[in-house]
Amino acid sequence: MAKSKVFLFSGQGSQFFQMAKDLFDHNETFREWMIKLDNIVYEISSRSMLAYIYDKTKNRGDRCDNIKYTHPAIFMVEYSLAMVIIENGIYPDLVIGSSLGEFTSIALSGVLSVRDTLECLLKQVECIETNCQRGRMTAVLHSAKLYEKTPILYENSELVGVNYDEHFVISGKDESLKLIAGYLKERSILFQELPVQYGFHSSLIEPAAKLYLEFLKKKEYKSPCIPIVSCLSGNMVSEISSDYLWNVVRMPILFKQAINQLEYLHSNIYLDLGPGSTLTNFIKRNLEVNSKSQCIPVITVYNQDLKNLEQVKKTLSEECYLI
């Protein structure tokens, strides 16, 4: 039985300066789509995402967290890469987006046009920057039970999601997460502060809700032509309501539940089309020992995008998936 091809799209925290530069320089389709999307963003916002993410004065290790740029740039990279994969005859059977990555799923599945999706992304930025205080997000490499039984964690942060059994993410105010960081350091518990300036998936962004929801009601949402596995519900969704694109950044991320649901149904080949192969690690950690599924990243911090793209084509060709 053929494995299902699942396109994966990650969200805030996966971005970095010079992401997908290898593809931009050497893959014509990717470059054309990036320029096309950048032009749309510029028409809406008068800002160039390409000038920001490919700033020659910035290195991959520099902090990349200005949501005016990272919000649309993540989408641009993911959508452009999806177009490259499809051009090579590899079509998704399903799409999954985590948090901001759900916007890419929405556009690729035809629920909204690319322009409408970008307008929704940029409006979200405007609503959050205008109405919300700054915050932080931190990934903790430990069982989520630590959060449940540790007052300093659950009293000073909100649980964003559990990506696998030994990895959870929290959101909170700057001073609160600094307090938590000190606690984790004292106990040699590994953690990583994510490159974001706001506490997504928490009450900290709630002040943006009213204005953003009013904007979203003005859009027309079609039924998806590619099945969407939602990290908002942990299941497939057949209809998208006007509040969906708010809820995917406000409510907890049910990535683990979504993957478990897919794995229960059939074996899959997951293509991680996010900027930093973040979801590849999450997928591998969620697969059972005897699972026949596999996950392949394309964009990594090691500047091997073209090589990874060839590996995708080789793997799918061997599985007789290419059309």
Active centre residues (catalytic): 99
Q: Report the distance separating Cα 200 and Cα 250, nearest Å.
A: 6
Pairing of strands 191-193, 136-140: antiparallel
Token pair, residue 238, equals 């057949």
In whole angstroms, give the CA distance from residue 227 to residue 29. Answer: 25
Beta strands in the chain (DSSP E): 4-9, 94-97, 136-140, 158-164, 167-172, 191-193, 228-230, 236-237, 268-272, 294-297
Q: What angle do CA 239, 160, 162 make, to 5 degrees?
A: 90
Token duo for residue 282: 């999450």
